[in-house]
Amino acid sequence: MSVTVQRGLTPEEVAQRVAAGQVNALPPRSGRTVGEIVRANVFTRINAILGVLLVIVLATGSWINGAFGLLIIANSAIGIIGELRAKRTLDNLAVLGEAHPLVRRADGEHRVARDEVVLDDLIVLTPGDQVVVDGEVVEADYLEVDESLLTGESDPEPKGAGDAVMSGSFAVSGSGTYRATKVGADAYAAQLADEASRFTLVRSELRAGIDRILRFITWLLIPVGLATIVVQLMYAGVDWRQAVLRMAAALVPMVPEGLILLTSTAFALGVIRLGRRQCLVQELPAIEGLARVDVVCADKTGTLTENGMRCRSIDPVGGHDAGEAAEVLAQLVAADPHPNASMQAIAESVPAAARPWTPTARAPFTSAKKWSGISFADAGSWVLGAPEVLASGQLVAEAEEIAAQGLRVLLVGRAELPVDADGAPGAVEPLALVVLEQRVRPDAAGTLEYFADQGVQVKVISGDNARSVGAVTRELGVVTGDPVDARTLDTPEKLADAVGTASVFGRVTPQQKRGMVHALQADGHTVAMTGDGVNDVLALKDADLGVAMGSGSSATRAVAKVVLLDDRFATLPHVVAEGRRVIGNIERVANLFLTKTVYSALLALLVVLWRVQFPFQPIHVTITGWFTIGIPAFLLSLAPNHERARPGFVARVMRLGLPSGVIIAAVTFVTYLLVRPASGLDSEAGREQVAAACLAALIVAATWVLAVVARPYEWWRIALVAASFGAYAFIFLHPLTQDLFHLDSSNTLMMVTGLAVGGVGAVLVELVWWIRGWVFGEKHRFWKSPELDPREA
């Protein structure tokens, strides 16, 4: 069917519409702007605390004691660089994927940028062209449009003059022209994307736990800081500079600044590692998400199956042979200038025609007539289509039996009439049944099996036919159960009940996908959603973690927290492993940082209660963190870790960090009380000797916390603990470091006292570790077991 060709807009009419704002200006891409990213990473609670303390310390003129201020730069830079890298990659993807429609105007047809389309423009569609704005068809020649990215329905829809087409769909057969009726933010796909593009952060238990700790510390710093400086000025008898320095020395270690830096570093390194696997992580904490997910909602098309189909078999019928069938199919392929997905699959399974026949008439496939055909000079007319339309009797029953397995069956045969004749095709002589199937991703079964082994439920949710979805899942052999036709789930209660018990769903609408995610979350699950089409956008947005395919629509890539650039579903286990490495290792090293926060706060309070001079300067607590926490924690955070993520991060960290911090504060202050009477605190040398003895006690006990946290042992973990003790021995004994860090270890009695009391603290830390395991039933292993996770290799 065709209609009279219509004239396009004149340049003057285009200019009028541009001036009126009736142009296809798209909403801004999702995610934060560069300015928002910078502000979010610079103006943080941790940077504010450290910044104030840095200004106070620098006011004393002691620059070496302000070394902790470098962490402000490091904390900000890592977060900014990681997010900007992800934003740049995604924006480049979006630009590369943008369509350039063919627009008909008064001066001819031109390809223009998508945002140059104006209201009432005439846009030409040929197979494969994307519908870039909403419109009304004004010309159609067997035009069919695939709306699967919008509706999830894989079968194309025939479109005639007067029918509506929506942005996000694309032409699959025939040709036509449509007039733009809604442009820019008014278009359907743009509205979906805009609703889903409001920025939200990935839920992160690590970040939430750290924030809770920081809020507590913020409120604690003010009274402790004021009390400390009052005690130093009024009772300890030191000048204001020493009072300020010792106040800062008391407060700075209370802030777990290294934990923030290390968490950002671990996330950033995770982003880089996954990037090498063509996996784009748009927010640093997102890699934690999949480690906690216990339900994965996987879209069938584009996730478990590849886009397109494959020919499973060509079965001759009626006494014909396979060679004859292959020759006819090859000729049909050669004569089709715009092959659809079915014809492309056939083309891959038959040899190219050696001598193409000359076509005389062509009839494109449409859903209405369910067949396509070509008439050839001297070779007759041949058709390809639905068996129930082109044949009857036993052959149709046989085709229906095959189709019950979720396969697509087509019949190829010789037509009685030319394909363009009235009443075509007439009687059809069957030649062969062509059995097509969707191409299941070769790595899909292994990926689903991995999730099953890890106790992660998989829900296959698709807008396609439920029987077809069930056939795919049966072939994969992992997700079991009868498929559910979502058209029967007409109430929220039915939807919630079904998603809680069944695993395979077909004919699911975009709103139902979103409802399924909400139902699972309401049942206490952490949900990941994978998808590639606009119909997946809202579900991806509301899931705890959205995962999009790189070849999917720009809307899905924009709202997802993880984008699989190479479309490999098999990358997800690596994302899980990376998330587990980050969570497990950060939880491990968080024990070190919380221990430091606890002993620092208690030391400050003890000094206030005893009204004595604080034993340390800021540089002392800075070097304490180098080898008991900073460097070892960084190395431990990089180690493989395949422990499953568990809730209760803060509680588990408190079980070791709190008692260990109390022990370290006690042994440090006991050492201070023991060595203080024997020293002259009025002299610089006396203060440095006391500081060295107290620091020795603190370091011995704190390094033993490292020795406990590093378990189960491997050779490098033992070497790490030994190197930490060795580094501190060098700092205490070498004249250059003694002078640089204001330490004097020449008083043997003081140093022996400090080391002995610190040794007692180490024994108590060891007892805490054993008691914690006994009370809470946690497994304690000294040595790493030899077995490896199968994905570690």
Q: Which two tokens stand for residue 753?
A: 């006292």
C-alpha dihedral sign at 667, 668, 673, 678: positive
Which of 134, 146, 299, 336 is catalytic? The answer is: 299
Rg of the chain (C-alpha set): 35
- Give the total residue count for the chain: 793
Check: CB of residue 583 under 8 Å from CB of residue 291: yes
The angle subtended at Cα 312 by Cα 308 and Cα 315, nearest 5°, is 135
Closest residue by Cα to residue 134 from 523, 534, 449: 534
Question: Three-class SS string for 90-138?
Answer: HHHHHHHCCCCCEEEECCEEEECCHHHCECCCEEEECCCCECCCEEEEE
CA angle at 605 for the pair 603 and 607, rounded to the nearest 5°: 70
Please provide residue 716's backbone torsions phi and psi, each rounded to the nearest 5 degrees.
Answer: -75, -30
Q: Is 116 left (phi over 0), alpha (psi -120 to 50) or beta?
A: alpha
Enter the tokens of residue 220. Answer: 């604690």
Residues in contact with 641: Cβ distance below 8 Å, sequence separation at least 6, in sequence order: 580, 581, 583, 584, 585, 588
Identity at 650, one-letter amino acid code: V
H helices within 140-204, ranges in order? 148-151, 188-196
Helix (H) or strand (E) holding 410: strand 408-415
Cβ atoms of 535 and 513 within 8 Å: the answer is yes
Q: Which of 360, 362, 354, 356 is nearest to 338 (CA)?
A: 362
DSSP assignment letter at 629: I
Tokens of 82: 């990681």
The C-alpha atoms of residue 438 and residue 485 are separated, in whole angstroms, by 19
Distance CA 643, CA 101 (A): 50
SS3 480: coil
Contact call for residues 770 and 780 (beta carbons, < 8 A): yes
Phi/psi for 644 (5° steps) reads -65, 145
List the one residue out of 190, 183, 256 whose CA is nearest residue 27.
Answer: 190
Contact call for residues 414 and 429 (beta carbons, < 8 A): yes
Sign of the CA dihedral running 102, 105, 110, 114: negative
Question: Residues 698, 667: contact at Cβ < 8 Å?
Answer: yes
Q: Is 299 a catalytic residue?
A: yes
299: which strand partners?
A: 461
Strand partners, 109: 104
Q: Residue type for 198, please?
A: R
Query: Quick one: tokens of 371?
Result: 């067949």
DSSP state of 476: H
The type of residue at 455 is G
Q: Which residues contact 291 (CB under 8 A, 6 or more apart)?
A: 576, 578, 579, 580, 582, 583, 644, 645
User: How far apart (Å, rounded) are the C-alpha atoms in residues 104 and 733?
Assistant: 83
Is the separation of the CB atoms in 412 and 329 below 8 Å? yes
Token reading at 522: 């309401």
Phi–psi pair at 428, nearest 5 degrees: -120, 130
Element housing 178 (H / E):
strand 170-182
- Residues taking part in catalysis: 299
